[in-house]
Chains A and B, each alone.
Chain A
Amino acid sequence: MRWVDMKDSLKNFWNDFRREKSGMFGLFLLILLLFTALAAPLLTSPDIPQKWKTYWLENPQNAPPAWSNYFSSTTKAPHVIYTYHDLHITKSKDQFGDTVYSFEIPYKYNYQVPVKDIVIFKLASNASSPLDAPHISIALRRPVQDGYSRVVPLLDETVSSNATIQLSTNTQVRRNVLNWLKQNKVQVDPTLEFQLLATMDTMKFLFSQIQPNIQNMMDNPKPLHGTYTLLVNVTAKPGISVDFSNVEIVFMGRTYGIMGTDDRGRDIWTGLIWGSRVSLTIGIAVAVLSVLIGIFYGVTSAYLGGWKDEFLQRINEFVASIPTLPILILLGVYFGGHIMLWQLVLLLVAFGWVGIAKVARSMALQIKEQTYVEAARALGAGTGRIVFKHMVPQLLPYAFAQIALGVPGAILAEASLSFLGLGDPSKITWGQMLNEAQRAGAAVNGYWWEVIPPGLAITLVGLTFVLIGVALDKVLNPRLRRM
């Protein structure tokens, strides 16, 4: 085919395809998906694949997405992280010659349920012995209630370098909060106080209005809205320097980001974005390879004819009679419980080419009888030339549609295997996300943000290719147009 003809037929094709609304929608979705897959490191961060297998300690576990507040009567505080750039650290000397670093974090609170915890990560110092370790003191200034704003002292202790300071479960913090409550004339039953020291939800008390009886504050807390300020002072002995550059102060939210978190605190949104890579790779690789193999196999079989055709068809029948999923599971177990991505592609191709080969053969049987094939043979063209140059190009329209229609099957197969726990452990896949959700009992516990998005993503990718495939089929195989 000459270049001019090719350009012309492509133009014609595009003109026809443009009229298929659903096909255009599919194309739009495909471009969006490809962009997401390619830009995953930029949209999130490049270290996600390594980080994915670990626990994300800086995130809350099983937190719903932040926007779920709009649909709920009890609004929950979202996750907030303050890093070095958000802190305005002032440095001064006290009377002992120690360096005092101090900063304040204003925090606006107007929700029904406060954060789970306030945690300070990665406060580093160059202290070599515990005696030299810097000293941290933390307090919280509350908004005005009954005429004045109260300051609650929370913590006062030395910290070793890179230690994680969790306020909510810290006994000293709990004792301080209880003492502060008692100073504000809140009645605390001694046995209850003992219990609270071990189990209290500290943040609930810090972020709610003071009531005369602690029992009321526990059963029926009234949130105190307004701007809170976290006051932090770090005192370091001479010669000891404190490094704030990596510090993270995390208000551990009850809600998180765009899609919430799972039981390991992992951000589901980043998982969704990275999962598109595996899904598209598997789907496209399997579909392209199996269609190409199927077409060549079918055409060759038809062209050769006679006993060779019969023999090739028997092999085809044999492969077609093997149930795919059970055998894949079997092989997965044999490979040590995990099928690597490339192995899976090869296996799915090994089972996927047969149907296409059958159709391609019957189509090629018709093409074989055309006079131009006869002419080519008469001119002395070899089998390879006739098959590749004269017969296969005739089947390309069918091939393109089949490639698009074959993608969802491959994606579903990968998702199913991943869901069974046989997937590639080094990759982030939607099937694995669903597997982990199922194992953590997400559906039963109502963690919808762990169940719905990965499946929707699978469906969306599948639908994209079905839409494109059906439209291609209509445009390229005009006999279907009347339907």
Chain B
Amino acid sequence: MGFGKYLAYRLFNAALILFFVVLLTSTLFVKLADVTLQSQIQETVQAEWNAYAQHHPGGHVNQSEFIKQRTEYWTDYYGLNKPYRTRVWQTTIKTLTFNFGQTRQTLFGTRDTTQIIKIALPRTILLFTTAQIIVILIGILLGVKSAQNPGSTVDRTISVLAMVTASLPMWWFGMIMILIFAFKLGWFPVNSFPDPTLTGLAHIKDVMWRMVLPVTTIVTVLFGGWAWTTRNIMIGTMQEDFIMAARAKGVPERKVIYGHALRAAAPPIVTMTIFSLLGSLGGAIITEAVFNWPGMGRLYWIALQQNETTLIVGLTYIFTLLYLTAMILADLTYAFLDPRVKVGASASM
């Protein structure tokens, strides 16, 4: 299988998965939406009747007749009289084309779900992608450092740190940071939501100021794991024969590490980088909620609290899309960077 064919195959696979996930969400949510819509229709019709009765006192329209008529109208309007299958299918198609519908309450100044997500996404990129880049830089640097001297103090510290941070919830660490630096010491604001009255340079300064705590949280929790993984990959590479050969040739140690070893270890590291950079676009749902940062994660929180079903469907779709893109990109880069990986090798096994 050539590269182009492999790409086509992966894309088809991803599209299939995306379709199934959306179908699943639609199947679940058409059912949920039914309940909300029914009660909504009941309320609307009751309100209509009240208005009607006020404007036509002594009118000879029968109340039950009126209510029945209007209920039928609205049921038809929302398509509730169509069969379940048809509605699931319609919702699936609508979701796939980014047509998520309206939320019940206004969020970020609009009720259009697509618009809301469009507003939230750049904010998440600003926070999480910044943090992720810092994490990757520190992680690789420290990982290489500790791979140079396995068993040294740096190495041991990183191992312990990686183990501890792997088992603690990032959002909890965020709460601790708020407790210490916002409440106790008062150095940073509790709420990361930027001040809307500021513009220009003051706004940028304000946003940066409010980003310090969340970024520190993310970096602290994630860099240990990165350093540890990099270290393990590097140690594996450092035991290869070509490193010994390079050393025997008299290549300076610095060059052996950064020129030979790191280059050979690059494929998995680059894959990890792509994955976590694209993964960071989804934000960390709970961490954003803890810091009240108005991004994608915060949207999830709001959607759950206020039961905004359209928003949940939209977010799930976007998350899945990002996740699949990351997977394809990572796979392709790996295949591209590492000539040892023969595309589709498993097929001939």
In the complex, chain A residues 449-483 whose Cβ is within 8 Å of any chain B Cβ: 451-452, 454-455, 458-459, 461-463, 465-467, 470, 482-483
Q: Nearest Cβ in chain A — how far from B95, in angstroms?
A: 12
Chain B hits for A322, CB < 8 A: 17, 21, 320
Question: Could you tell me which B residues sit within 8 Å of A by CB distance?
Answer: 13-14, 16-17, 20-21, 24-25, 28-29, 31-32, 150, 163-164, 166-169, 171-173, 175-176, 178-179, 182-184, 190, 232, 235, 239, 282, 285-286, 290, 300-301, 304-305, 307, 309, 312, 315-316, 319-320, 323-324, 327, 346-347, 349
Output the nearest chain A residue to B29 by Cβ-Cβ distance.
A334
Q: Does A3 contact B (CB under 8 A)?
A: no
Q: Does A347 contact B (CB under 8 A)?
A: no
User: With the chains together, A292 CA to B121 CA distance in Å?
Assistant: 39
A483–B167 contact, CB under 8 A? no
Question: Of B20, B29, B176, B346, which is within 8 A of A451 by CB?
Answer: B176
User: With the chains together, A455 CA to B287 CA distance in Å?
Assistant: 14
B17–A420 contact, CB under 8 A? no
Q: Does A198 contact B (CB under 8 A)?
A: no
Output the nearest chain A residue to B313 by Cβ-Cβ distance.
A330
Q: Nearest Cβ in chain B — how far from A411, in angstroms?
A: 8
B312–A420 contact, CB under 8 A? no
A323–B166 contact, CB under 8 A? no
Chain A 24-41 per-residue mask, 1 if CB under 8 angstroms from chain B, else 0 = 000000000000000000
B163–A459 contact, CB under 8 A? no
Q: Does A78 contact B (CB under 8 A)?
A: no
Interchain residue pairs A-B with the least CB separation, the first 7: A462-B167, A455-B172, A459-B168, A323-B323, A408-B167, A334-B28, A443-B175
Q: Nearest Cβ in chain A — how far from B157, in angstroms?
A: 14
Contact flag A330-B346 (CB < 8 Å), given A434-B175, A445-B183: no
Question: Of B163, B171, B173, B316, which is within 8 A of A467 by CB?
Answer: B163
Output the nearest chain B residue to A322 by Cβ-Cβ distance.
B21
B171–A419 contact, CB under 8 A? yes
B166–A321 contact, CB under 8 A? no
User: With the chains together, A446 CA to B17 CA distance in Å?
Assistant: 45
Question: Of B172, B285, B301, which is within 8 A of A325 by CB?
Answer: B285
Output the nearest chain A residue to B184 by Cβ-Cβ distance.
A446
B164–A446 contact, CB under 8 A? no
Chain A 270-312 per-residue mask, 1 if CB under 8 angstroms from chain B, else 0 = 0000000000000000000000000000000000010001100
User: With the chains together, A454 CA to B169 CA distance in Å?
Assistant: 11
16 A-B pairs in the complex with CB atoms less than 8 angstroms apart: A321-B17, A327-B316, A329-B304, A329-B312, A419-B169, A442-B175, A443-B175, A443-B183, A446-B179, A451-B175, A451-B176, A452-B176, A455-B173, A459-B164, A462-B168, A483-B232
Number of residues on chain A facing chain B (CB within 8 A): 51
User: With the chains together, A333 CA to B305 CA distance in Å?
Assistant: 10
A326–B316 contact, CB under 8 A? yes
A329–B300 contact, CB under 8 A? yes
User: With the chains together, A446 CA to B190 CA distance in Å?
Assistant: 11
Output the nearest chain A residue to B346 by Cβ-Cβ distance.
A313
Secondary structure at the A interface, as helix, strand, loop or mixed, is helix
Q: Which of B21, B163, B169 counts the most chain A CB atoms within 10 A?
A: B169
Q: Nearest Cβ in chain A — how far from B9, in angstroms?
A: 11
Q: Does A365 contact B (CB under 8 A)?
A: yes
B349–A365 contact, CB under 8 A? yes
Q: Nearest Cβ in chain B — how far from A247, in angstroms?
A: 39
User: With the chains together, A213 CA to B190 CA distance in Å?
Assistant: 40
Chain A hits for B300, CB < 8 A: 326, 329
Chain B hits for A455, CB < 8 A: 168-169, 172-173, 175-176
Q: Nearest Cβ in chain B — how far from A346, in angstroms?
A: 16
B166–A310 contact, CB under 8 A? no
Q: Nearest Cβ in chain A — how far from B81, in angstroms?
A: 23
Question: Of A326, A434, A438, which is within 8 A of B315 by CB?
Answer: A326
Chain B hits for A326, CB < 8 A: 282, 300, 315-316, 319-320
Question: Of A327, A444, A463, which is within 8 A of B21 by CB?
Answer: A327
B327–A466 contact, CB under 8 A? no
Chain A hits for B347, CB < 8 A: 310
Q: Nearest Cβ in chain A — how far from B112, in angstroms?
A: 21
Q: Does A243 contact B (CB under 8 A)?
A: no
Question: Of A318, A416, A443, which is within 8 A of B179 by CB?
Answer: A443
Chain A hits for B304, CB < 8 A: 329, 333, 420-422
A438–B290 contact, CB under 8 A? yes
A321–B323 contact, CB under 8 A? yes
B179–A451 contact, CB under 8 A? yes
B327–A333 contact, CB under 8 A? no
User: With the chains together, A325 CA to B286 CA distance in Å?
Assistant: 11
Q: Nearest Cβ in chain A — how far from B184, in angstroms?
A: 7
User: With the chains together, A333 CA to B300 CA distance in Å?
Assistant: 12
Chain B hits for A422, CB < 8 A: 304
User: With the chains together, A454 CA to B28 CA distance in Å?
Assistant: 33
Chain B hits for A14, CB < 8 A: none
